[in-house]
Structure 1
Amino acid sequence: MKRLACLCLLLLLSCASTTQVPPAHADGTLAVRIVTLNLYHDKDDWPARRVQIVETLRRMQPDVIALQEVLQHPDLENQARWLASELGYQWEFFSTDAPGKPRRYGNAILSRHRVLMRGQEVLRPTDDNRTVGLVRIELDGHPLNVYVTHLHWTDAGTGIRAAQVADLVRYIGTTSAGLPSLVAGDFNAAADAPELALLRQDFADTYGSLHPQADAIASSTLNLKYFAPRRIDHVFHQCNAFAPVASEILFTRPDAAGVWASDHFGLYAHLRLTAGQPQPHCGGRQGRAR
């Protein structure tokens, strides 16, 4: 009986080790893993789509998940809340819709680490209903800022996106407290687009840093079933705080029943926190997805 109990304990420990991602690399440096995904709100059979999403995220166990096009209404539980409940994560929702409204739409951040603070800012123009949300998490005893945003969508709206990026950068400046920071979301623009230039002064495109020669199809974060290929969903890392380790596009295939996770693909990034030394690909042009 005693041997059986010991065997059960060993099996439990083994299972736990395969589901938890270690926060540190072998050299002791901290690692952070983040996923960003535009959920496509409740279109195209959300109950079917969310199965693939939650199964993939449960398997990956990222430290943080940034979500865009998150919806709730009387017949739909807040999508971020549902995902957080399924994954055992904490969640924060950011919207220009007042908390008491029955229908609310916006962005969210999910984290499997302790949340130290949260914040939100509305981006100009206010009638575009865009926000930047902030969650400060405690990663293995170290505070880390994660920002989520979703910028204006029209091709002709470069000036609007530029104003929103200016607001975003200003908000980061007033809230980051000098801590390592990541910015993730749907920017509706390529990483090297002129309207994102202000952000690129201190932040680098993680995927582009690692895949400078990636072609448009291979690097598209728009689902090719719905759109022409474009990489518009990004994780930007602070240049003097992170070194990119890996990044890949997620949800690039439908499930066995032919259901796609979203009209966007997801983006995964794995970064190593550095000792404040500037990293390559920072403060300059990023690799363009052609």
Structure 2
Amino acid sequence: MWIMTWNVWWRFGDWRARHEAILATLRSEQPDVCCLQEAWAVRGGEHQVELLARELGMHWAFSSSPMPGRWHDRIGDTTVDVGNAVLSRWPIGATAIGDLGGEGRTVLHARIDAPDGPVPVFTTHLDSPSDGSAARCAQVERLVPFVAGHRIPEHPPVLTGDFNAEPESDEMRRLGGHLTAPVVPGLVLVDAWRYHGRSDPGWTWDRRNPHVTCHATPNARIDYVLVGLQGPGRGSVEGVHLAGTVPHDGVWPSDHFAVVADLR
């Protein structure tokens, strides 16, 4: 099972051209499950996730932010929602949404009814300020119990998203539960990139992307696929790579690169 996570940069920049570049990237990667952050939906109008699902022949789920005001202020349009989404090659049997607080952040759960059994998938987007580690730690304290509450025996949970935090940060160590005490006893989530096996740092926020160079922040790996550690068998990481790392017809699809993990 190929699982992809990608922050698709909402309606910023030339979003129509970027939408086509996003679609082209997804067609090239052909993930079985794709988790999106900063997906857009016009109230009563176009819906990015629905458009992608229709083009790719996938099922979908979407959860909008309960506090979109700061997003509206940035583009001057109050009719466009922003949120997390899941696209799936297989039916989505159940969904749930958890409130993480902060800047109106949520986590979306989708139970993927895959041919060999259900897979609990989660995607989220934590607070973004560079000095917001304490706020993100507080969100992790809400996030992990939500994941634990939707676990199933058949497959370890898969948690994806833009965590706005580097691997060594307090929030990521707390989230993983193996470098420090886990939030929920027994729930350990492993960063799929650790199975990469090469020297590539895996930067998903990369200054060679022109959408990033206008920011003062340095290169960083802030987007993740995390998999519950349940011993050998289902959920083991077979491979991992980045996607969306080149422009399509001269258009960079997002300010983030995507992470794609091959899970057994």
Same fold (TM over 0.5): yes
Please report how far the alpha carbon of residue 171 of structure 1 lies from its aligned counterpart in structure 2 after TM superposition. 0.3
In 2, Cα distance between the equivalents of 1:223 and 1:82?
28
CA contact (8 A) 2:93 2:110 kept: yes
Q: Does 1:167 align with 2:159?
A: no
Q: Does 1:220 align with 2:212?
A: no
CA contact (8 A) 1:37 1:66 kept: yes
Equivalence for 2:66: 97
DSSP 3-state at the match of 1:242: coil
What's the CA shift string for 1:248-281, capped at 9, x where partnerless? Answer: 111111123x210111111111111xxxxxxxxx
Equivalence for 2:189: 203
Equivalence for 2:34: 65
Q: Which amino acid aligns with 1:193?
A: S
CA contact (8 A) 1:121 1:131 kept: yes
Paired residues, what number?
Answer: 233
Alignment of 1:15-26 (within 5 A): none
In 2, Cα distance between the equivalents of 1:48 and 1:75?
22
Equivalence for 1:186: 162
Q: Which amino acid aligns with 1:152?
A: D
What's the CA shift string for 1:170-215, capped at 9, x where partnerless? Answer: 1011111334210011000113321122321211010123246333
Q: Which amino acid aligns with 1:113?
A: W
Q: Does 1:244 align with 2:234?
A: no
What's the CA shift string for 1:97-154, capped at 9, x where partnerless? Answer: 39xx9432111011010111100011023xx110000000111130100000000111
Q: Does 1:267 align with 2:259?
A: yes
Q: Does 1:40 align with 2:26?
A: no
In 1, Cα distance between the equivalents of 2:199 and 2:137?
26
Equivalence for 1:229: 219
Return closer, same or farther for 1:172/1:184 CA change in 2, 3 Å cut-off.
same
Q: Which runs of 5+ in 2 are unaligned?
A: 68-77, 178-187
Q: Which amino acid aligns with 1:244?
A: V
What's the CA shift string for 1:74-112, capped at 9, x where partnerless? Answer: 5961211111111111111112339xx943211101101
CA contact (8 A) 2:60 2:92 kept: no
Q: Structure 1 residue runs of 4+, over 4 Å off?
A: none
Same amino acid, percent of matched pairs: 33
Q: Does 1:148 align with 2:131?
A: no
What's the CA shift string for 1:190-248, capped at 9, x where partnerless? Answer: 13321122321211010123246333xxx210142214311101000111142211111
Alignment of 1:130-145 (within 5 A): 130-145=105-120
Higher mean C-alpha deviation, range 190-199 or range 178-187: 190-199
Equivalence for 2:72: none
Alignment of 1:118-129 (within 5 A): 118-125=95-102, 128-129=103-104
Q: Which amino acid aligns with 2:152?
A: A
Residue in structure 2 matching 1:108, options 85, 88, 94? 85
By relative contact order (CA 8 Å, sep 6+), the higher-ranking structure is 2
In 2, Cα distance between the equivalents of 1:270 and 1:97?
32
Equivalence for 1:277: none
Q: Which amino acid aligns with 2:246?
A: R
DSSP 3-state at the match of 1:107: strand
Q: Which amino acid aligns with 1:170?
A: P
In 2, Cα distance between the equivalents of 1:41 and 1:47?
11
* CA RMSD of superposed structures (Å): 1.9
Q: Normalising by structure 2, what TM-score?
A: 0.82
Q: Which amino acid aligns with 2:80?
A: R
DSSP 3-state at the match of 1:93: strand
DSSP 3-state at the match of 2:17: helix
Alignment of 1:271-282 (within 5 A): 271-272=263-264
Q: Which amino acid aligns with 1:82?
A: L
Please report how far the alpha carbon of residue 169 of structure 1 lies from its aligned counterpart in structure 2 after TM superposition. 0.4
